[in-house]
Amino acid sequence: MIFDINTATGHWPFRRVPNQTIPLLRCLLAERGIGGAAVANTHALFYKNCQDANLELAEAIADDAEFFTGVATLNPLYAAWERDLVTCTEELGLKALRLVPRYHDYGLDAPEAKAILAAATDLNLPVFIPARVVDVRQRHWMDTEQQVSVEEIGRFSLGVPGSRIVITESTVSVPELVNDDGTLKYPGLYFEISRMPSAYGQTIAGLLDAVGADRFLFGSGAPFKEILPSLLKLDTIDCAEDTRRRIAHENARTLLETNTCS
Amino acid sequence: MKPTDLHACTVIDIHNHVWAKDGELDRDRAMSLLKAADCLGIDTVCVSLPLMTESPTPEEFRQANDMVFEALEMSDTFRGFCFVNPGYAEESVAELERCIVRHRMVGVKLYHQYRICDPALRPVMDYAAELGVPVLMHAAKLRDSANVARQPRVSHAEHFLKAAHMFPNTTLIQAHIGGGGDWEWNLRVLEAMPASAKYFIDISGSVVDAGIIRKTVATLGADRVLFATDGIMEEGIGKLLEAGLSEEQLQHILSRNAERILF
């Protein structure tokens, strides 16, 4: 069983991306042996009122609830996000919140950002933050060229004790995450593996040793990205099989189902 | 084809590197590269040690190539590409003679000190043609301001089109279609690459956008595309095997094209 923590549906305006619809995305993932996925709506990057994108998402995955776990996207600078967050969790059944500060034009040091992280934490909701959506080196002239750094997200997490933040689409190194005495700099961070080297240098294995196996989650970036590279990364981690299972699906299930039990 | 099937094929990674640490070959990193190649089913890894400074001196690029020699001693899996700075034309040609004629390196590696179509490259390109070895040039169509500022003379597809006319006897390899930058723009430009040009492109780089390899092969044909990773290993294999290519197309990309121009 593999659960993909990092997928998206909806139109991307800057490049033709295949398999954008929920039925096509499900086929794509299932053909590669993936049994479930967290999915966010790409439209939410661009709508001013991104709650409309969350409503679209909930409707799109309604018939695939056993496969897809919906991820809300909200902008803490926009009106009514507090009500929308409650609606997303209590009425739409979305199980995580995505923040995209570079697309919604705020910094993670803004008080509004801290407020929405605190609200999500109160609801026991994990928060996803992509370091980037696509490689900025190839960006469309209307797209952002700014990424979100691990350090920036880490500092953000420290501002709300108990918060759980999954960084997607990022590389990371042990010195970025671990103090000299071996303690974690940012205890609330989790990491999706699609951009981390695996076989060469055993980077993921080194991170597992330093940070802990419960912090890493399989993700592909589909349909923006090909899926097989991430599957190969998972396969080539030098680790015990039970650790691989945790990365493949158990950590994601734990992270996403915790809130449904609250 | 599945990833495990690669162990039954010949696989040549035409673009990879060894690196220096404290002024010496980083042998641990080179060993890790060998282990990764073995794990993933890659039989031959072409390595160079390019210097990314503004204008590396002959002494510096000779030292870099010495470290590649040391790596070649570590394993038969490695084949060497000789790095030079064409700004030092006479010294570069002498270094090609040392590395390729005397020490059996199999290609030339250039970085962004000069564009591929710069007339300063003439002596190096002519000598590479005389030796019958390919020239692998770092390349990208960069769109973000930070990298544009960092690499003002990086080559892109338009430069390769010009170079194909300027140096028709030299085999050109455009590095990493997935190395960052606007790969779709590159491919649209490359639609105009003449069939007669001795031009190839490698698939390496971290970009694994859906469809990138399928479009590259559709634009240039499988006989002009070379398997490579540039050290980003799972991406290289994964995006190639996701491209929906025939067994024959895959065989060309995995090794036959490289065998044609390397050995």
Answer yes or no: do A222 and B143 touch at CB < 8 A: no
CATH number for A3-261 (one of 3.40.50.300, 3.20.20.140, 3.30.70.20, 3.30.70.340): it is 3.20.20.140
Q: Is A102 exposed, middle or buried (0-12, 13-18, 19+ CB in 10 A)?
A: buried
ipTM, two decimals, is 0.96
pLDDT of A260 over the 90 cut: no
For chain B, the structural domain boundaries read 3-258
**Residue A139's pLDDT is what?**
95
Alpha carbon of A243 to those of A193, A223, A238: distances in Å? 14, 26, 10
Q: Which of B32, B143, B234 sits opposite A137 (nearest CB)?
A: B143
Q: CA–CA separation, B239 vs A143, rounded Å?
A: 24
Rounded to the nearest 10 degrees, the angle between the axes of helix A150-158 and helix A111-122 is: 60
Task: Using pLDDT thresholds of 50, 70 and 90, give the confidence band for residue A258.
Answer: very low
DSSP codes joined into one string, A158-219: HTSTT--EEEES----HHHHB-TTS-BS-TTEEEE-TTS--TTT-HHHHHHHHH-GGGEE--
pLDDT in tens, B137-193: 999 999 999 999 999 999 999 999 999 999 999 999 999 999 989 999 999 999 999
What is the nearest CA distance from A181 to chain B, expressed in angstroms? 25
CATH of domain B3-258: 3.20.20.140
Indicate the angle between helix axes B89-96 and B122-131, nearest 10 degrees.
20
Q: Chain B partners of A225 at a C-beta cutoff of 8 Å? A: 208-210
* Residues in chain B within 8 Å Cβ distance of A200: 32-33, 36, 231, 233
Q: What are the tens digits of pLDDT across the range B223-250?
A: 999 999 999 999 999 999 999 999 999 9
Q: What is the pLDDT of residue B203?
A: 98
Size of interface A-B (CB pairs under 8 A): 101
pLDDT for the residue numbered B180: 86
Extents of the domains making up chain A = 3-261
Residue of A nearest to B144 (CA): A137
Query: Is it the case that residue A221 has pLDDT exceeding 50?
Result: yes
Is residue B261 less than 8 Å (CB to CB) from chain A? no
Does any CB of chain A come closer than 8 Å to the CB of residue B13? no
Answer for the pair B128, B262: CB distance below 8 angstroms, yes or no.
Answer: no
Name which of B208, B212, B241, B250 to mutate to probe chain A: the one with the most chain A Cβ atoms within 10 A of its Cβ. Answer: B208
Looking at residue A259, its pLDDT comes to 38
- Three-state SS string over B230-245 comes to CCCHHHHHHHHHCCCC
What secondary structure letter does DSSP report for A249?
I
